[in-house]
Copies of this chain bind each other. A is one copy, B any other.
Amino acid sequence: MTTLSGAFFGVIHRDLSIAMRHRGDLLNPLFFFLIVVTLVPLGISPEPARLAAMAPGMIWISALLATLLALDNLFQADFADGSLVHLMLSPQPLWLLVLAKIIAHWLVTGLPVVLFSPLLGLMLSLPEAGFLPLLLGLTLGTAVFSLLGAVGAALTVALHKGSVLLSLLVMPLYVPVLIFGTSAVQRAVDGMSYGGVMAMLAAASAFTLLIAPFAAAGALKVGING
């Protein structure tokens, strides 16, 4: 018989090996992140002082967009080739398999973004005090992005609509995270304590972790019949 943990890690392993197979895929969200951050000095201003002021917001916005862009592949690809049906017909609880897919998605998109955010902080002249809250905040925040995004991706899975409808659905949900995340960094840069904001971010992610897999599993059951 299949086991709960077997199914869980089986799904994670599968999604990671697909990402590995197209070697580029692992790095792509990262480069997207880099490129967006490059556009800002080009589009707005290369002055270090002005960049520093925008840095927290810009890094967060581009992390958000990087996650978002990778999102439509989360279930869409599985739907198109029919393997989503296998997932849904597994005797294991669907929310668990969905959670596994979300974790794999985060490992491929969120984690690299988190790891490279200090480099981008440097490039945008972010003051040193901001680095720790940036790292912490992005870790929690990208997790929430992946979790909430999964609900949107599940709802739009059968609609053949491209990624824009999806963005439209999930962006409003991302707003609170963005606000908490950037203000934690901003407060740290301004020399204030950021513990409270970070706690709210942590609470938001814990809460999302509790409900998103169920919501996404429910959304999939609805979404798959178009």
Residues from chain B with a CB closer than 8 A to the CB of A61 are 36, 39-40, 43
- CB pair A44–B54 under 8 Å, yes or no, is yes
Query: Does any Cβ of B come within 8 Å of A86's Cβ?
Result: no
- CB pair B69–A164 under 8 Å, yes or no, is yes
Query: Does any Cβ of B come within 8 Å of A89's Cβ?
Result: no
Residues from chain B with a CB closer than 8 A to the CB of A39 are 61, 64, 171, 175, 178
Contact of A58 among B35, B44, B160, B179 (CB under 8 A): B44
Query: Does any Cβ of B come within 8 Å of A80's Cβ?
Result: yes
Kindly identify, within residues 139 to 177 of chain A, every residue whose CB is under 8 Å from any CB belonging to chain B. Answer: 159-165, 167-168, 171-172, 175
Contact of A179 among B28, B29, B43, B164 (CB under 8 A): B43
- CB pair B69–A163 under 8 Å, yes or no, is yes
- Chain A contact patch, size range: 35 or more
Query: Does any Cβ of B come within 8 Å of A70's Cβ?
Result: yes
Rounded to whole Å, the gap between the CB of A42 and the closest CB of chain B is 6
Contact of A164 among B56, B70, B175 (CB under 8 A): B70
Residues from chain B with a CB closer than 8 A to the CB of A57 are 40, 43-45
Query: Does any Cβ of B come within 8 Å of A60's Cβ?
Result: yes
Residues from chain B with a CB closer than 8 A to the CB of A29 are 164
Residues from chain B with a CB closer than 8 A to the CB of A65 are 36, 65
Query: Does any Cβ of B come within 8 Å of A208's Cβ?
Result: no
- How far is A48 from B102 in the complex, measured between Cα atoms in Å? 38
Contact of A161 among B25, B35, B36, B179 (CB under 8 A): B25
Rounded to whole Å, the gap between the CB of A39 and the closest CB of chain B is 5
Query: Does any Cβ of B come within 8 Å of A95's Cβ?
Result: no
- How far is A179 from B28 in the complex, measured between Cα atoms in Å? 24
- CB pair A162–B25 under 8 Å, yes or no, is yes
Residues from chain B with a CB closer than 8 A to the CB of A40 are 57, 61
Contact with B along A40-53 (1 / 0, CB 8 A): 10111100001001
Residues from chain B with a CB closer than 8 A to the CB of A160 are 77
By CB atoms of chain B within 10 A, which of A35, A60, A64, A172 has the most? A35
Rounded to whole Å, the gap between the CB of A120 and the closest CB of chain B is 14
